[in-house]
Amino acid sequence: MSTVSGQPRESLLQAIPLLDGAPHPLHPAMVSGRPCRLCVARRTGQPDSSLLAWRSTFHDQVCLRHHRWLGHPGNPFLLQADLRPVPGVIQAFHRHRRLLRRHGPARLDACYEHCSNLWRACLSNGLRPSSRERRLRLLQVDDWITAPADPRWHAADYPEIIHLVSLYASAH
């Protein structure tokens, strides 16, 4: 690789640590999931919906280039909601990435999973914040029957979940 690229071997090992030959297991929270359809179309020229990519279970839920909600990698739906009407979700994703850099994936995986379950429990007990209702309207979700299945419902809850994650991950 050094010969082909013209770069010194040491520089390549620093830039791409997987080249050092040491075993690097995948992060346990990495799973195969659907990438952004618009990114796939841009790179391949075809909107191939069957393409899968490795994604973090909890930390790759928004495509920042196209402002699309990708949701969890296990999401079987091809619906990738446009987040431009709800900038709070994109701001929450930026905050999520900052928290990830500050605290690392192991801590944030546990915090995200716990806080997501906690938020769902609060909602099932009757908590209905007005900001969530506004985001649901902006995401054009009005069918209450599809609530558990529609990934836009999770997108509407995402800012509150990230707020809880920041409280749980904090040392204070």
pLDDT in tens, 78-88: 678 889 999 99
The stretches of 85-150 forming alpha helices (DSSP H) are 87-103, 105-124, 130-138
CA distance 59 to 41: 22
Q: For the full predicted model, state whether its pTM sits above 0.85.
A: no
Q: Flag whether pLDDT at 146 surpasses 70.
A: no
Residues contacting residue 30 through CB under 8 Å, at least 6 positions apart:
54, 55, 56, 57
Is the pLDDT at 45 greater than 80? The verdict is no
For the chain, give the longest Cα–Cα distance. Answer: 63
At residue 25 the predicted structure's pLDDT band, cuts being 50, 70 and 90, is very low
Average pLDDT over residues 9-16: 68
